[in-house]
Each structure stands twice: as C-alpha cells, then as structure tokens.
Chain A
C-alpha cells in the first residue's frame, strides 16, 4: 500500500524489477564513484582546497579550457547553422554522404582525431606548412581540436528544427515586403535560436572536458597550453590524488550547472514547439 503513494497504478508488470535494476546499476556505477570526489574533497581542509584550486597553474588551465571551449563552440554555432541550412534547404551532389559524414567526430576515437589533426597542423604538416603562424602546440590548435569534437552538436540540433519549419512563414514575410536577409534575421533566427543555443551549450560542455583529441595537438606546456583535464591527469600521474580530486570537484560543479542550463534550454525548445 505504501507503494501507491509515490507510484501511480499501472497494469503493466515489471516495475519493481526494472526500476530496481536501474537504481542498483546507477548507484553502483555512477553515484557511488562520483560521491568519492566529494567525500575526498570534504576530507581536505578549506584552506588546502582553496590553495589547490586557485594555484596560478590551475587558474591558467581554467582560462585556457574555458576560452578555447567558448571559441570552439562559437565557431560551431556559425558553421553548424550554415551546414544545417545547406543540408536542409539546398540539393547538391553527394549530399547524403556529407550528411552522414557530419557525425564522424562522434564515431571516430578521440585519440585518432587528435593525432590526425596534429599531423595536419604541425609546422611541416599538410596545412601547417602554408600558415605563417603556429597552430599545433598553441591555443589555436586546441580550439581546432575542440571545434572538430563539437561539430555535430549544433548541426544535429538545428537540422530537425529547419526541417519542420513552416516555409509559409517565410513566404508571408516576403509578401509583407521583407527582403531575404530581414526574413532570415526576424523570422528564421528566432525559430532556430533555442536549438542553436542548446547545440552551443552541448558543444561547450563536451569541449570543456575533452581530453583525447586535445593532448596531442596542445603541446601541454604548464601555464600556456595545459587544459584542465590534462592537469588532473598530470596530478594523478604524480600520485597527487588530493590535488586531482579538488580540481575535479570544481569541474564537476561547473558541469552540473551546464547540465541544468541545457535542460532549461531544452524545456524552452519543447515549449516553443508545443505552442506552434
């Protein structure tokens, strides 16, 4: 009888089994391990914790990680919307293949992407030799790797919105005297904005924690090209578990807020669709 208070009655079987298994699995595999971060952090003194997470080398890594992830997510929004637009609105040879290729960054192991990009952008590489500035082993290289990793998010968020978009709204805007650019800014952009923002946030969140594709192209110089996940790795290799855990706790809290933000955005997107 107590069960009914928190669960609505259903004639379908398997509630206890499926929820029980799910809860056990999630608790053992995710909650218990993640709790270790906070348990271990809590055993540090506040002064120690603050000193660890505000050390200049750590702060430099936050700045780099945030800056590069932000830049990459911005590039992804611009080109992601462009690619989604081109794939939905225009027809050209090879479109289906290109549409499928967009998901390559999700399918390709990050380490493979990392060594490929480093080879391309190294000073003697296919692309690097034509550039007058250094790309590999600089923040620009990091941004390129993060752009690669985040590319599919914006495209895949915006594409379905454009597909379902009622083109009569554009025609109405054109009949009312707006030119194509005005129609784009005033009719189409507001419609795809929530999806584009969600894609941006997803790409940003992924870029913030990315490790595999970045370590090869970054050069990993402390204070200059050392991203936060790499710093955690370095501390672990030196058996500085407390230091690694403290930085991880900061990143976890940031990730958690990003997750809340993304859920909020998705709720906004759904509401937009529900009333239109």
Chain B
C-alpha cells in the first residue's frame, strides 16, 4: 500500500521502432513530462540547498552543530538503530510464515500487515497516545511505576515501529512467493537443519529484496513526522527528532537553520535513492 514500491527487475530499454509517434509528438510528450518533474521534484530539492546556504557557510555550519540539532540527530539515529532491525526481523519471520506454509487466516494477516500504510500518520501517533497517556489504558500502571512512554523516547520508537513495519515484509512476501520452497526442501532432504537451510539457502536468495526493504524502512524511519509529532511532546534536546527540529526552526522563522538541517536529510534521501537503484540493478542481474 501507500509507500510501497515493488522491487523492479526490468531494464529501461526503449521500445521498438515500429508503432511509434511522430517526432514532434515525442518531443512534446518528453518536454511535458520533464517540465512536470522539474517543477515538482528538482526545484524543491534545489530550493532546499540554496536556501540552506543563503546566509553563508558559517550560518550553515552553526545550524547543524547547534547542541539542539546534534541531539535531534542523535535521537533520530537511536530511533533508526532500534526500529529498523526489529522490523527487518519481523519482515523475515512474517514472510517465512506466509510464503512457506498454508494456513487459514493468511489473507487476513497480509491485510493487517498492510494496515499501517493505509492509516494517517497522525492516527498512528494517536493510538499510542490513547494507550499510554495519563487517562489511557496503561496510564495508571505507568504512573505508579514511574515509567514514561508518551512524550519520551519509547513513544517515539513505538510510533516509528508502527509506521515502518510493513516495508520489509511487503518486499519479501511477493519475492519469496515467486521463489517457492523447492530449494529449501532439497536442503532439508540433504540433511541440513532448519537454521542452516535458512542461513545458506533462503537468505542468499532474498538478500537483495531484504536490503531493498531495509533501505525503504530506514528512509521512512528517519523522516517520519506526523506520528512522531503526536507522541514526542517536542521537548528540545530530549524528544526532538530531526524532522521535528526542522519544524521548530521553521516556525521560529530561522529559515536558513531549518533548511540547513533539511539539507542533511535531503542528502540522506539522495543516498537512499542511489542505493535503491544499485540494489535494483544488482537484483536485476541475479534475478
């Protein structure tokens, strides 16, 4: 669902010469498509970097080494380190259960895995607020034991886990379905145990799909805004992730600083796109 990009193996060869449009039509169509992409994708990207350096390199450097910015970067990294491996593990387990076995309720499970993509990030944050706020289901328990989840790091981690958890599973399920389980069965018949089979047969087969899912999961975990915004409480230096830090700077009219931090995230986005294309290319070679 939303946010899910299936891994594509095909090359981008141009079509055959026959049944083509006249040169002028081709030219107009290409121009229209490029103009649209320039206006909607390239220009915003350029605007980020140009605005970031508008007040000079000094302001830029000061903005990204500001203690609040550094603590936002640290928190974002912490959230990624906690959420991405957990969701990758879940993705592999879910794909294994769904593609290697036939059981009742399978299609319901697949639909549930899709759910976070269909839900507004604000609602994803809201559900954790309902669970852990003072009036929430666990409110009394948490208060008695002096555990803080909402407006603290655990809440941010949970909300990020929620919005990013379908990525790896959605990537692996169609891939493992198309591969079948003949190779695993052969390995077991030859005497390897389950873990060995998974490690030496399944994992090499799914590594590109897994990596692809992890890249997408990582990008979303770094950039999640709506869900995290609900549960964070916006405490500077403590519960502000990078996107939330950008929002605060922007709302305080510190545009150069906001765009300086935004430019860091944009570089990460570009790296994500490059990695994604490398993985697609590699998967195309092996697939």
A residues adjacent to B (C-beta < 8 A): 6-8, 10-15, 17-19, 21-23, 25-26, 29-34, 36-37, 40, 79, 82-83, 85-92, 95-96, 98-113, 115-117, 119-120, 126-127, 144, 147-148, 151-153, 156, 159-160, 163-164, 167, 170-171, 173-174, 180, 183, 202, 205-206, 208-212, 216, 228-230, 232-233, 236, 241, 244-245, 248, 251-252, 255-256, 258-259, 262-263
Q: Report the Cα distance A258→B117, complex, angstroms.
A: 11
Q: Shortest distance in angstroms between B53's beta carbon and chain A's nearest beta carbon?
A: 14
Q: When the two chains form their complex, are residues B111 and A259 in contact, meaning their CB atoms are under 8 A apart?
A: yes
Interface residues on B, range: 35 or more
- Of all chain B residues, which has the CB nearest A92? B30
Give how many A-B residue pairs fall within 8 Å (CB-CB): 323
Q: Is the CB of B130 within 8 A of A127?
A: no
From residue B27, how far is it (CB to closest CB) to chain A in Å?
Answer: 9
Which one of B30, B36, B109, B272 lies within 8 Å of A26 (CB-CB)?
Answer: B109
Known: A13-B193, A90-B26, A209-B120. 8 other contacts (CB 8 A): A6-B103, A33-B128, A104-B41, A105-B41, A119-B259, A120-B47, A212-B226, A251-B123
Interface SS of B by simple majority: helix
Given A37-B126, A212-B225, A109-B36 contact (CB < 8 Å) = no
Complex Cα distance, B224 from A85, in Å, reads 31
Contact B93 A22 (CB under 8 A): yes
B229 contacts the other chain (CB 8 A): yes
Q: Which residue numbers of B lie inside 8 Å of A, CB to CB?
A: 1-3, 5-6, 8, 10, 12, 14-16, 18-22, 25-26, 29-30, 32-34, 36-37, 39-45, 47-48, 51, 90, 93-94, 96-98, 100-105, 109, 111-116, 118-123, 126-131, 133, 135-137, 158, 161-162, 165, 181, 184-185, 188-189, 193-194, 197-198, 216, 219-220, 222-226, 229-230, 242-244, 246-247, 250, 255, 258-259, 262, 265-266, 269-270, 272-274, 276-277
| B residues in contact with A164, CB < 8 Å | 10
Dominant secondary structure at the A interface: helix
* B122 contacts A111, C-beta separation under 8 Å: no
Closest B residue, CB atoms, query A153: B2
> What are 10 A-B pairs with beta-carbon distances under 8 A?
A15-B101, A21-B93, A22-B109, A25-B94, A82-B32, A88-B12, A95-B12, A109-B225, A115-B258, A229-B123
| B10:A160 contact, CB within 8 angstroms | yes
CA distance A115 to B22 in the complex (A): 41
With A30-B116, A87-B12, A110-B223: A12-B100 Cβ-Cβ less than 8 Å: yes
The answer to whether A212 and B243 have CB atoms under 8 Å apart is: yes
